[in-house]
Amino acid sequence: MTSMTPHREQPLRREVGVRELHDQLSRYVRHAAEGGEVIVTMRGKPVARLTPLPSADPFATLRARGLIQEPTRPRTRLEDLSQIPLDGDGPTASDIVIQMRRGGI
């Protein structure tokens, strides 16, 4: 009867040759998908970089770092803004633009 020895996975390296990358491709791709980066070398010279793709949401990283946050109210449409009087009770922005186009201001 043949006894099997437990296989211990070696830690992934930051730089990896093409042969090792080929032999361990799924591990290195999983590492990149989880946010890691690997430099691929050929004969000791760096030739490529394996990195994760950007997330579908370009703001996800910024949100996770606390640099931005979700809006607290719905977006105001530009058309709605043009109907708000500039000083509260005067003409609206669109009224002023119309007067300017007519040469009135």
pLDDT tier at 85, thresholds 50, 70, 90: low
Domains of the chain: which residue ranges? 12-68, 75-105
In tens, the pLDDT along 39-80 reads 999 999 999 999 988 777 878 878 888 888 888 877 766 556
pLDDT at 21: 94
DSSP state letters, 25-87: HHHHHHHHHTT--EEEEETTEEEEEE-PPPPSSTTHHHHHTTS----SSPPPPHHHHTTSBSS
Q: Residue 97: which pLDDT band, with cuts at 50, 70 and 90?
A: confident
CATH homologous superfamily, domain 12-68:
YefM-like domain (3.40.1620.10)
How much is the pLDDT for 45?
Answer: 96
- What mean pLDDT do residues 13-33 have? 93
